[in-house]
């Protein structure tokens, strides 16, 4: 059984191991494969029957040229890089990795918020640059500091990750307003309740996005929805970049309507130099790393191996359909 990993570096830059997958066949791991050169993708797949991909696209043109493929393992939760419908037509099983990064992504959303509230990185640099030593007072701060207790966090998308963020927010003394297409009323409490989207937008001091990218959510944070929010709202997004109309958010940041934004995702990744958010006021942008703690990546690797083992045993798990 020949196995190829098309782009393994982001999952495993060297601090975890492919050994469990390598035990299942003759395995070749490439750090990176072209996102645009389909011939390179086809050549690297070669005669492999098992293909793992993270972000390397596997469109119909590749699948048609590689009829020997029996299994595609997506090394992520999102599987839009694969033409799943075509794969299913060719009898290829496609699996993804659900739920591996719930705690990490929820934690990161709160990390973005805390950085906005306290500007810890900035003040650390200021101290090391001698500003505290030179200060006439016993302390200083160069940005307004924000206490979260008593404020409201609106969470759009209250699945596993949204709930993880919500639990931490409640521990900080925040009330949670949740919006979800499939509300679970059992999760409601004195500190957490479901509300219509317009209520979430208008009543929240912080709006956190944890929803998937669907046609109906594409660009859901835009000029019109931002106008429904409180003046001075904080917006967090470590879900999917295209949920936000970036020029609209940049305009709102620059006008002060939105006090700050914390983003781990943007519409095109890696980010392009002309992205308007790069020059917007009070906008923290990190390079899509919410998912990347070692513990989370190890969990992803373990599930990837379990998925392949289940397929080879004739009982696929975490299978996705087109």
Instruction: Determine the 3-state secondary structure of 259 from DSSP.
Output: strand
Of 65, 72, 54, 68, which is closest to residue 10 (Cα–Cα)? 54
- pLDDT tens per residue, the chain (322 residues)? 999 999 999 999 999 999 999 999 999 999 999 999 999 999 999 999 999 999 999 999 999 999 999 999 999 999 999 999 999 999 999 999 999 999 999 999 999 999 999 999 999 999 999 999 999 999 999 999 999 999 999 999 999 999 999 999 999 999 999 999 999 999 999 999 999 999 999 999 999 999 999 999 999 999 999 999 999 999 999 999 999 999 999 999 999 999 999 999 999 999 999 999 999 999 999 999 999 999 999 999 999 999 999 999 999 999 999 8
List the catalytic residue out of 26, 224, 269, 295.
Answer: 269
Single pTM value for the model: 0.94
At CB < 8 A and 24+ separation, what contacts does 162-169 make?
A: 162/106, 162/208, 162/210, 162/211, 163/106, 163/187, 164/102, 164/103, 164/105, 164/106, 164/107, 165/105, 165/106, 165/109, 165/110, 165/208, 165/210, 166/192, 167/106, 168/106, 168/107, 168/110, 169/110, 169/206
CATH superfamily of 2-100+294-312: NAD(P)-binding Rossmann-like Domain (3.40.50.720)
DSSP summary character for residue 288: S
Question: Catalytic: 269?
Answer: yes
Phi, psi at residue 234, to the nearest 5°?
A: -110, 135
List the catalytic residue out of 44, 119, 123, 240.
Answer: 240
Q: Is the CB of residue 95 less than 8 Å from the CB of residue 317? A: yes
Strand ranges of the sheet holding 50-53, from the earlier edge strand across to the other edge: 26-29, 2-5, 50-53, 71-74, 93-95
Q: Give the Cα separation of 261 and 226 in Å (integer).
A: 12
List the catalytic residue out of 118, 167, 193, 288.
Answer: 288
CATH superfamily of 102-285: NAD(P)-binding Rossmann-like Domain (3.40.50.720)
Where in the sequence of the chain do the CATH 3.40.50.720 domains occur? 2-100+294-312, 102-285
Q: Give the Cα separation of 4 and 298 in Å (integer).
A: 19
Q: Is the CB of residue 147 less than 8 Å from the CB of residue 118? A: no
Give the CA distances from residue 307 to residues 46, 245, 277, in Å, rounded to whole numbers and listed in that order.
22, 36, 38
């Amino acid at each position: 059984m020949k196995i190829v990993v098309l782009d393994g570096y982001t999952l495993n830059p060297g601090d975890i191991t492919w050994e469990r997958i390598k035990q299942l066949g003759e395995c070749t791991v490439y750090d990176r494969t072209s996102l645009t050169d389909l011939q390179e993708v086809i050549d690297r797949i070669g005669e492999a029957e098992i293909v793992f991909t993270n972000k390397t696209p596997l469109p119909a043109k590749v699948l048609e040229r590689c009829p020997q493929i029996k299994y595609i393992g997506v090394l992520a939760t999102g599987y839009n890089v694969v033409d799943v419908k075509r794969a299913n037509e060719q009898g290829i099983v496609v699996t993804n990795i659900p739920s591996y990064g719930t705690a990490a992504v929820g934690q990161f959303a709160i990390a973005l918020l805390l950085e906005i509230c306290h500007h810890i990185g900035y003040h650390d640099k200021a101290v090391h640059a001698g500003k505290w030593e030179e200060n006439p007072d016993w302390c200083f701060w160069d940005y307004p500091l924000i206490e979260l207790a008593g404020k409201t966090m609106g969470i759009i998308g209250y699945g596993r990750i949204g709930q993880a963020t919500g639990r931490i927010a409640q521990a900080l003394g925040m009330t949670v307003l949740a919006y979800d297409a499939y509300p679970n009323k059992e999760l409601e409490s004195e500190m957490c309740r479901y509300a219509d989207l317009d209520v979430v937008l208008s009543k929240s001091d912080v709006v956190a996005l944890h929803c998937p990218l669907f046609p109906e959510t594409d660009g859901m944070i835009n000029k019109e929805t931002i106008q429904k929010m409180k003046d001075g709202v904080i917006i967090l997004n470590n879900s999917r970049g295209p949920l936000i109309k970036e020029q609209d958010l940049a305009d709102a940041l620059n006008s002060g309507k939105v006090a700050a934004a914390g983003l781990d995702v943007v519409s095109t990744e890696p980010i392009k130099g002309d992205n308007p958010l790069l020059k917007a006021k009070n906008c923290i942008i990190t390079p899509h790393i919410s998912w990347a703690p070692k513990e989370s990546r190890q969990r992803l690797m373990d599930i990837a191996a379990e998925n392949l083992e289940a397929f080879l045993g004739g009982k696929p798990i975490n299978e996705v359909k087109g």
